[in-house]
Amino acid sequence: MIIKPLGPALNCAGRVLDLSRPRVMGILNVTPDSFSDGGVLYSGANLALDKVLHRVEQMVSEGADIIDIGGESTRPGAAAVSSQEEQDRVLPVIERLARDFDVVLSVDTSNPQLMLAAAASGVGFINDVRALARPGAIEAVAATGLPACLMHMQGEPSSMQQAPAYADVVADVMAFLTQRIEACTKLGVARRNLVIDPGFGFGKSAQHNLQLLNRLDQLQSLHCPILVGLSRKSLIGQVLKRPVSERLAGSLALAAIAAMRGAVIFRVHDVRETADAVRLCTSVFKEQVE
Ligand code: 8Y7
């Protein structure tokens, strides 16, 4: 089934992100231990700011609409970092990028203190893999007035892949997101500022991920823009038996399917290739070259 992915617009701290066409969110991990690109922006134990700036420049030139900056690895089995360490990793990068680039910055965090500090430093979007469940997170987002992504996860990264189980993964994820949307609107987050994400790979077996992707269009009934993160994920490795470095074609195929099922924001490592793939999807829906 193909459903038009036409969406509203998000006001990201004054930069308007029009969702009538798909948008690409480029991943910037300022962690020494992320799942597919851990440590590439480091020189030994220290973050190399010149590498960060070069990487962001490259993603922006390749068509990234949003840069998602994360300081806590959420790969399966990752250890938690302290709130202070997370802020020390992320805030200087946000401050510098906000000065140097004309692009929406997103902070990938579950930490309300960091949400507030990042908003004060110029981010325009909050991406929380814990769907604002930490105490004070909803209030923090409400105070910033920024759009936020609510992602579904079963369990915590340290143990989420041990035995994921659902009655019906699509129904369960939808019920969870519905409940989070209600909790957010009750505490003052505007509904138009909420984006939803089924959380591919977060407490899900390969079959759960396949069911969620094939039935992603059902999430459109929640009337929030849909964000997906499928880039290089283990689902691709499980089906194709490819290592992380050889998952580009698989990532693009899944992005195209997600676009056909109504996703509008794509969180990816490979910006240029994904932008091309989803632009072609849009051309097909619209039956128009532009
Ligand atoms: C996702 C995400 C990651 C995702 C959203 C990875 C931070 C793992 N995945 N955020 N973050 N959605 N919203 O493989 O799927 O990039 S980290």
Q: Is the pLDDT reported for residue 153 higher than 80?
A: yes
Q: Residue 189: its pLDDT value, please?
A: 98
Q: Residue 145: its pLDDT value, please?
A: 98
Spatial separation of the C-alpha atoms in residues 7 and 226, rounded to whole Å: 9
Give the type of residue at 237.
G
CB atoms within 10 A of CB 230: 25
Instruction: List, for residues 246-279, the tens digit of each pLDDT value.
Output: 999 999 999 999 999 999 999 999 999 999 999 9
Ligand 1 atom with minimal separation from the 129 CA: 10
Nearest CA to ligand 1 atom 14: 233
Q: Is the pLDDT reported for residue 204 higher than 70?
A: yes
Instruction: Report the catalytic residues.
Output: 233, 267
Spatial separation of the C-alpha atoms in residues 229 and 27, rounded to whole Å: 10
Tell whether 1 is covered by a domain. no
Helix residue ranges per DSSP H, the chain? 49-61, 83-100, 112-120, 137-144, 169-186, 206-214, 234-240, 248-260, 271-286
Tell whether 100 is covered by a domain. yes
How big is the chain, counted in residues? 290
Rounded distance from Cα 199 to ligand 1 centre (Å):
7
Closest Cα partner for 66 from 115, 21, 147, 125?
125
76 neighbors 115 (Cβ within 8 angstroms): no
pTM listed for this prediction: 0.96
Rounded distance from Cα 90 to ligand 1 centre (Å):
16
Tell whether 2 is covered by a domain. no
Q: Residue 5: its pLDDT value, please?
A: 45
The pLDDT > 70 percentage for the chain reads 96
Residue entry with tokens 């802020």: 87
The Cα angle at residue 258 between residues 240 and 189, in degrees rounded to 5: 130
Ligand 1 atom with minimal separation from the 201 CA: 15
Name, in order, each residue with C-beta under 8 angstroms of 277's C-beta and a sequence gap of 6 or more: 252, 255, 256, 259
Q: 29 pLDDT band (50/70/90 cuts)?
A: very high
Nearest CA to ligand 1 atom 1: 229
Ligand 1 atom with minimal separation from the 68 CA: 7
Ramachandran angles phi, psi of 9, nearest 5°: -120, 150
Q: 7 pLDDT band (50/70/90 cuts)?
A: low
Tell whether 32 is covered by a domain. yes
Rounded distance from Cα 209 to ligand 1 centre (Å):
13
Least confident stretch, 65-69, 84-88, 225-229:
84-88
Q: Which domain holds residue 194?
A: 9-286
Instruction: List, for residues 220-231, the tens digit of each pLDDT value.
Output: 999 999 999 999
Higher pLDDT, 38 or 237: 237
CB atoms within 10 A of CB 85: 12
Residues within 6 Å of ligand 1 by CB? 27, 35, 70, 74-75, 108, 127, 129, 149, 151, 197, 199-200, 227, 229, 233, 267
Higher pLDDT, 99 or 159: 99
Q: Is the pLDDT reported for residue 1 higher than 70?
A: no
Average pLDDT taken over every residue of the chain: 94
57: left (phi over 0), alpha (psi -120 to 50) or beta: alpha
Least confident stretch, 14-18, 76-80, 218-222:
76-80
Least confident stretch, 96-100, 117-121, 163-167, 271-275:
163-167
Rounded distance from Cα 287 to ligand 1 centre (Å):
31
Q: 42 pLDDT band (50/70/90 cuts)?
A: confident
139 neighbors 181 (Cβ within 8 angstroms): no
Spatial separation of the C-alpha atoms in residues 149 and 152, rounded to whole Å: 10
Least confident stretch, 8-17, 29-38, 81-90:
29-38
Q: Is the pLDDT reported for residue 77 higher than 90?
A: no
Question: What CATH code is carried by the domain that includes residue 182?
Answer: 3.20.20.20
Q: Residue 166: its pLDDT value, please?
A: 96
Tell whether 126 is covered by a domain. yes
Q: How many domains does the chain divide into?
A: 1
Tell whether 4 is covered by a domain. no
Q: Is the pLDDT reported for residue 128 higher than 60?
A: yes
The dihedral through the CA atoms of 127, 131, 133, 139 has a sign that is positive
Higher pLDDT, 186 or 43: 186
Ligand 1 atom with minimal separation from the 232 CA: 14
Nearest CA to ligand 1 atom 4: 229
Name, in order, each residue with C-beta under 8 angstroms of 40's C-beta and a sequence gap of 6 or more: 51
- pLDDT (mean) for 56-79: 92
- pLDDT (mean) for 211-225: 98
